A and B are shown apart, each in its own frame.
Chain A
Amino acid sequence: MKLSDQVQFTMRNMRKNKLRIFMTVLATTMGSAFLIVLASVGFGLQSSLMEEASSHQPLTQIQIWDRYESDELQGIDERTIEEIKELEHIRTVVPRGMVYHMDVSPSVTLEDYMSGAQVIVTDFEAEKDSNLSLSEGDFPASENEILVGYHFSESLISPEAAEQRTDPEDPYFAPEEGDYSGSVLGKNITVSFTNQESGEIVEEETFTIAGITAAPSRDWNRNGNIYVAGEFREHFMGLTGQEHMYTEINAHVTSVEHVENVTAELKEQGYSVYSISEELSSMNLFFNALKAGLIFVGTIAVLIASIGIFNTMTMAVTERTHEIGVMKALGANPAGIRRMFLMESGAIGLMGTLFGVVIAYAVSAASNVIIPAILEATTGTDTLNITFSAIPAELVLIAGLISVAVATVSGYRPALRATRVNVLQALRREA
């Protein structure tokens, strides 16, 4: 018997009892939709948290703290930065260094305003390569141009306002206390290096603000720093007496899949490093376990639906015993008969899965709208930016495989029974 004829026979048989097939498909649909929707919560929460985590720090970024050689702190200097840059898959290395020393420290003023800003030395080319984004202005074009953090203007306080404070000399104050208004773009600032002991100003440098960085990704992060070109590194080190001026080194890898290798390589060379990917891998492990658990629970629903398929197929075999007997008497191959019944249960599974996928997508979309709305209404927060349910193609594939496999397996016994139909009994022939 040709496959096309088997398909045609199967379809004819299924059309004969539409209601029964419909109910069985419905049960399978509900089972597979339940499986997909349940597992989609795992997928949804995982992708939300991953997104959240990577918005804080790019996935391709590796933070480098220090370097140890046989348990001895080596520190990081120009040469080691160059070495890191030479590694494979490194796109750029941003070497930031904070200018600070107990004895001689810099203080920032803009016109009459004092600022509590930290002075950071960095490499603007590397910053540009690492996709540092600006909210206003441009990257510095000359040595005396600088970038300031998004919240720099909030760190400025007038002498009058400072008078009001309990300790007017304290450079650290709350943003509300700052009283600068207007844009700082294009303004000049002065960085003065003061000897803390004598109060004597050792050096003064004037810079022009060329650009302002974009707002930090998290609301509670504040960036009031000023960023000065790397050319001043040696000069400032001379003034403050710092031994190194590399406090925040970020290596950027060409793509996410290389992060693991590069991290391992750096660790082997004695660097203490941190990458968000490393943290995400343990988070992923947790979510993979969660997803497996949800899929397992969802599979139980599919198994319950499979009882219906088993029932339907057993009924179908009983109903068609005579027909099977005739076909066997005429010379039908038992394997062909089995295949037709397996096709029927497989088709039920397939239809159930297809409808299940459609319904699951609808339920998933609805829950992503409704659940945050309910939570907002009940908890009063409106910062929920979470996708509860996500259905990636792989989930559809897994659920489809499970549903069709379970359907086919539950149809297997009835199909086997069909091949064992006794011709004489089926034809009610006296033996």
Chain B
Amino acid sequence: MIEVKHVHYAYTIGKKGKRTDVPVLRDVNFEIRKGEITAIAGKSGSGKSTLLNLLSGFISVDSGMITINGKDVTGLSEKGWSSFRLEHIGFVFQNYELIPGLTALENIELPMVLKGENQRLRREKAEKMLRKVGLEHQSSHYPNELSGGQQQRVSIGRALINEPAIIFADEPTGSLDSETEQDILTLIRTLNEEKNITFVLITHDHEVASRADRRLTLTDGRLTEERGEYSEAK
């Protein structure tokens, strides 16, 4: 599903003439299979967010190759990435990143709007999705009228609405209390089992990482461990 081969990435810092490269990812290799929940764990500064940014096309690799869903995405243009994300990837962010001026229903609808789906189909699917994430009574609420857990549910609904094969979740429970965290992780597990969606979770939390099928740990830009606690426990 996702294949990462010999990926290197470095930041350039400093002003013109005095530039230095700070390596973040060094020769990262891994593969994620379809239907897996994979946690990418690591301390802050380990390069896990950078890895997700590369997988999402927000930045591009210095060298190496990334293949998603059988497509080499390494050299995609900005426009190419736009339609690729719209088609294949759903996003769940730590800060939910909902649009404040849109209701819960409209936020969930947004990826379908971007895709150019017609309004009736959009409404129907978004309402169904709201029920699935347990927010059927909050459909006309704006984000600032929802709790953190509810906002993250909306965000998950938005990630799922275009039925992508993969969902990238960056610290999905990072801003939530532990009870709500369990709810969200259970929801992710249910969706994974129901629809066979591949999840990639970025987390620094051992508890979250332990709920995944596999766990990849990044230390100083290198992938040092690969093991699956959850699948072993199953």
Q: Which residues of A contact B (CB under 8 A)?
A: 1-2, 5, 12, 16, 322-323, 325-336, 423-424, 427-431
| Chain A interface mostly | helix
**A260 to B93 CA separation, bound complex (whole angstroms):** 75
The reply to whether A333 and B83 form a contact with Cβ atoms under 8 Å apart is: yes
The reply to whether B116 and A2 form a contact with Cβ atoms under 8 Å apart is: yes
Interface bracket on B: 20 to 34
**A326 to B100 CA separation, bound complex (whole angstroms):** 11
B53 within 8 A of A: yes
Q: Which residues of B contact A (CB under 8 A)?
A: 11, 44, 49-50, 53, 56, 58-59, 78-79, 82-87, 89, 91, 93, 95, 97-99, 101, 110-111, 113-116, 118, 158, 170
**A330 to B107 CA separation, bound complex (whole angstroms):** 11
Q: Which A residues touch B170, using CB under 8 A?
A: 429
The reply to whether B116 and A331 form a contact with Cβ atoms under 8 Å apart is: no
**A196 to B219 CA separation, bound complex (whole angstroms):** 131
Q: With A2-B113, A333-B79, A427-B93 given, can you name 14 additional A-B contacts, CB distance below 8 Å?
A: A1-B113, A2-B116, A5-B113, A12-B101, A322-B97, A326-B98, A329-B58, A330-B111, A331-B115, A336-B114, A424-B53, A424-B59, A427-B95, A429-B58
Name A430's closest neighbour in chain B (CB-CB).
B49
Give chain A nearest CB distance to B96 CB in angstroms. 10
Q: Which A residues touch B158, using CB under 8 A?
A: 330
Name A5's closest neighbour in chain B (CB-CB).
B113
Q: Which B residues touch A335, using CB under 8 A?
A: 79
The reply to whether A330 and B101 form a contact with Cβ atoms under 8 Å apart is: no
The reply to whether A331 and B85 form a contact with Cβ atoms under 8 Å apart is: yes
Give chain B nearest CB distance to A130 CB in angstroms. 67
Q: Assuming A332-B114, A424-B58, A427-B93, is B82 touching A323 (CB within 8 A)?
A: no
The reply to whether B101 and A331 form a contact with Cβ atoms under 8 Å apart is: no
Q: Which B residues touch A332, using CB under 8 A?
A: 82, 86, 114
**A12 to B102 CA separation, bound complex (whole angstroms):** 10
A-B contact pairs, 5 of them (CB 8 A): A1-B116, A331-B85, A333-B82, A424-B58, A427-B95
The reply to whether B86 and A331 form a contact with Cβ atoms under 8 Å apart is: yes
User: Which of B93, B114, B118 lies in contact with A331, CB distance below 8 A?
Assistant: B114
**A323 to B91 CA separation, bound complex (whole angstroms):** 15
Give chain B nearest CB distance to A12 CB in angstroms. 7
Q: Assuming A327-B110, A332-B114, A333-B82, is B97 touching A427 (CB within 8 A)?
A: yes
**A336 to B83 CA separation, bound complex (whole angstroms):** 12
Name B106's closest neighbour in chain A (CB-CB).
A12
User: Which of B53, B83, B99, B118 lies in contact with A323, CB distance below 8 A?
Assistant: B99
Q: Which A residues touch B79, using CB under 8 A?
A: 333-335
The reply to whether B101 and A16 form a contact with Cβ atoms under 8 Å apart is: yes
Q: Which A residues touch B93, using CB under 8 A?
A: 427, 429
Residue from B89, B93, B97, B115 having most chain A Cβ neighbours under 10 A: B97
The reply to whether B85 and A329 form a contact with Cβ atoms under 8 Å apart is: yes
**A335 to B91 CA separation, bound complex (whole angstroms):** 21
Give chain A nearest CB distance to B114 CB in angstroms. 5
Q: Which B residues touch A1, using CB under 8 A?
A: 113-116
Give chain B nearest CB distance to A1 CB in angstroms. 5
The reply to whether B53 and A331 form a contact with Cβ atoms under 8 Å apart is: no
The reply to whether A431 and B78 form a contact with Cβ atoms under 8 Å apart is: no
Q: Which B residues touch A429, using CB under 8 A?
A: 49, 53, 58, 93, 170
User: Which of B59, B97, B98, B113 lies in contact with A329, CB distance below 8 A?
Assistant: B97
**A80 to B98 CA separation, bound complex (whole angstroms):** 89
Q: Which A residues touch B116, using CB under 8 A?
A: 1-2, 5
**A334 to B78 CA separation, bound complex (whole angstroms):** 8
Q: Which B residues touch A5, using CB under 8 A?
A: 113, 116
The reply to whether B50 and A431 form a contact with Cβ atoms under 8 Å apart is: yes
**A376 to B231 CA separation, bound complex (whole angstroms):** 99
Name A327's closest neighbour in chain B (CB-CB).
B114
**A2 to B113 CA separation, bound complex (whole angstroms):** 7
Q: Which A residues touch B91, using CB under 8 A?
A: 329-330
Give chain A nearest CB distance to B214 CB in angstroms. 24
Q: Which A residues touch B56, using CB under 8 A?
A: 329
The reply to whether A330 and B83 form a contact with Cβ atoms under 8 Å apart is: no
Q: Assuming A331-B114, A424-B58, is B87 touching A326 (CB within 8 A)?
A: no
Q: Assuming A1-B114, A429-B49, is B58 touching A331 (CB within 8 A)?
A: no
Residue from A1, A322, A325 having most chain B Cβ neighbours under 10 A: A1
Name A6's closest neighbour in chain B (CB-CB).
B113
**A332 to B56 CA separation, bound complex (whole angstroms):** 14
Name A424's closest neighbour in chain B (CB-CB).
B58
Give chain A nearest CB distance to B30 CB in angstroms. 21
Give chain B nearest CB distance to A416 CB in angstroms. 13
Q: Which A residues touch B89, using CB under 8 A?
A: 331
**A2 to B121 CA separation, bound complex (whole angstroms):** 14
The reply to whether A330 and B58 form a contact with Cβ atoms under 8 Å apart is: no
Q: Which A residues touch B59, using CB under 8 A?
A: 424, 431
The reply to whether A431 and B49 form a contact with Cβ atoms under 8 Å apart is: yes
**A328 to B114 CA separation, bound complex (whole angstroms):** 10
Q: Assuming A326-B99, A329-B97, is B58 touching A423 (CB within 8 A)?
A: yes
**A430 to B42 CA separation, bound complex (whole angstroms):** 14
Name A426's closest neighbour in chain B (CB-CB).
B97
Q: Which A residues touch B87, using CB under 8 A?
A: 331
Q: Which B residues touch A2, using CB under 8 A?
A: 113, 116, 118
The reply to whether B53 and A328 form a contact with Cβ atoms under 8 Å apart is: no
**A326 to B143 CA separation, bound complex (whole angstroms):** 14
Give chain B nearest CB distance to A117 CB in angstroms. 85
**A327 to B97 CA separation, bound complex (whole angstroms):** 10
Name A9's closest neighbour in chain B (CB-CB).
B113
Q: Which B residues touch A427, using CB under 8 A?
A: 93, 95, 97
Residue from A322, A327, A330 having most chain B Cβ neighbours under 10 A: A330
Q: Which B residues touch A423, using CB under 8 A?
A: 58
Name B102's closest neighbour in chain A (CB-CB).
A12
The reply to whether B86 and A431 form a contact with Cβ atoms under 8 Å apart is: no
**A335 to B78 CA separation, bound complex (whole angstroms):** 11
Name A330's closest neighbour in chain B (CB-CB).
B111
**A16 to B98 CA separation, bound complex (whole angstroms):** 17
**A429 to B113 CA separation, bound complex (whole angstroms):** 24
